[in-house]
């Protein structure tokens, strides 16, 4: 509070504030335990349909033995392993309700709170989202472990080497940050549009197909494959899974990790810019 605050204690205050936001958001999340547990568990159901779907596809490729055929370098086992890994990726990168809640905050004027109180909206949302993820993993880690254990036979190559594993883990955390800032940008467009849900719908549609959530991007024909590999959304699902399966290695891995960091920083900066501009518009600056 006083002017004589040293930069060190300011930094501690910043960390403490984030820690407090995280704690409170976590407490809030846990207020709806039942609904939350059910919602988390229901997400595991599509695994079964996906396994059957890919089985049917591979059967059509090689009716005698579906286990033999390959699709853009993916065997049936690889496909299932890939799908399971994208689920992990999406557990980090998906941001349910983020954009729409920002839109609602702007429309209903709840955003005023962040103009009047000494707390930044994006910092607040980021740490609340970290809390959401912690709450989510506290419930879903066990089912994830069970599913991976049951499906261990699909991982024909076994565990990747420690470096690949480290790159995989890093890509998961970065995909969280990328997913957050990307969707924050969409939500902040609410400063200009009354309703962001249709915009969000279009984005979700693209994300569904082009993030690699439905199928490995490798099966896309050119020029789509080249285009998609330049887009940031492949990092939300495809990239971590591909890293784990050893599909991205060596220099390519380094470059792609660099691009992931670059995209994350880009959307972080963009969200800040849109927020500042949006606030100017909201408050009628110069208008």
Q: Is 285 in the site for another protein (CB under 8 A)?
A: yes
- Is 167 in contact with 121 (CB distance < 8 Å)? no
Q: Tabulate helix, strand, coil % of the chain (nearest 5).
A: 75, 0, 25
**Minimum distance from CB of 243 to another protein (Å)?**
38
Q: Is 16 in the site for another protein (CB under 8 A)?
A: yes
The distance from CA 232 to its chain's CA centroid, rounded to whole angstroms, is 11
**Minimum distance from CB of 266 to another protein (Å)?**
26
Comparing CB distances to another protein, the nearer of 125 and 241 is 125
Residues ≥6 apart with Cβ < 8 Å to 29:
36, 131, 132, 135
Comparing CB distances to another protein, the nearer of 24 and 254 is 24
- Element at 75 (helix H, strand E): strand 74-75
Among 6, 8, 63, 109, binds another protein (CB under 8 A): 109
What span, in angstroms and rounded, lies between the C-alpha atoms of 35 and 148? 24
Q: Is 221 in the site for another protein (CB under 8 A)?
A: no
Specify the stretch interacting with another protein by CB under 8 A; choose among 23-31, 207-215, 240-248, 269-277: 23-31
Specify the stretch interacting with another protein by CB under 8 A; choose among 21-29, 61-69, 158-166, 238-246: 21-29
Comparing CB distances to another protein, the nearer of 65 and 120 is 120
- Nearest by Cα to 131 from 9, 36, 241, 271: 36
**Minimum distance from CB of 232 to another protein (Å)?**
31
Q: Is 287 in the site for another protein (CB under 8 A)?
A: yes
Residue that is written with structure tokens 């200009």 in the block: 192
Per this entry, what is the length of the chain?
Answer: 287
Comparing CB distances to another protein, the nearer of 19 and 206 is 19
Among 6, 7, 8, 31, binds another protein (CB under 8 A): 31
Comparing CB distances to another protein, the nearer of 65 and 110 is 110
What span, in angstroms and rounded, lies between the C-alpha atoms of 258 and 185? 21
Neighbours of 284 (CB within 10 A): 7
- Is 147 in contact with 84 (CB distance < 8 Å)? yes
Beta bridge partners of 74: 71
**Minimum distance from CB of 24 to another protein (Å)?**
5
Q: Is 283 in the site for another protein (CB under 8 A)?
A: yes
| The token pair that represents 265 in the structure block | 């920083």
Using CB under 8 A, list all residues that contact another protein.
1, 13, 16-17, 20-21, 24, 27-28, 31-32, 109-110, 112-113, 115-119, 280, 282-287
């Amino acid at each position: 509070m006083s002017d004589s605050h040293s930069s060190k204690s300011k930094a501690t205050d910043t960390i403490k504030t984030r820690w407090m936001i995280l704690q409170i958001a976590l407490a809030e999340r846990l207020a709806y335990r039942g609904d939350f547990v059910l919602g988390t568990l229901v997400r595991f159901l599509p695994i079964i349909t996906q396994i059957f779907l890919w089985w049917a596809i591979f059967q059509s490729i090689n009716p005698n033995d579906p286990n033999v055929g390959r699709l853009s370098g993916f065997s049936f086992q690889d496909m299932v392993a890939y799908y399971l890994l994208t689920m992990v990726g999406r557990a980090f990168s998906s941001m349910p309700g983020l954009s729409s809640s920002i839109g609602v905050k702007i429309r209903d004027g709840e955003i005023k709170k962040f103009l009047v109180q000494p707390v930044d909206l994006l910092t607040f949302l980021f740490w609340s989202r970290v809390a959401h993820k912690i709450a989510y993993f506290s419930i879903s880690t066990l089912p994830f472990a069970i599913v991976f254990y049951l499906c261990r036979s699909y991982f024909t190559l076994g565990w990747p080497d420690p470096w690949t594993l480290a790159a995989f883990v890093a890509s998961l955390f970065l995909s969280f940050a990328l997913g957050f800032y990307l969707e924050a940008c969409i939500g902040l467009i609410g400063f200009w549009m009354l309703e962001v849900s249709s915009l969000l719908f279009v984005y979700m549609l693209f994300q569904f197909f082009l993030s690699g959530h439905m199928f490995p991007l490798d099966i896309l024909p050119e020029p789509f494959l080249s285009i998609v590999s330049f887009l940031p959304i492949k990092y939300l699902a495809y990239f971590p899974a591909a890293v784990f399966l050893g599909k991205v290695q060596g220099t390519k891995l380094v470059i792609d990790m660099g691009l992931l960091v670059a995209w994350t920083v880009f959307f972080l900066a963009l969200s800040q810019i849109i927020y500042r501009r949006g606030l100017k518009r909201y408050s009628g600056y110069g208008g």
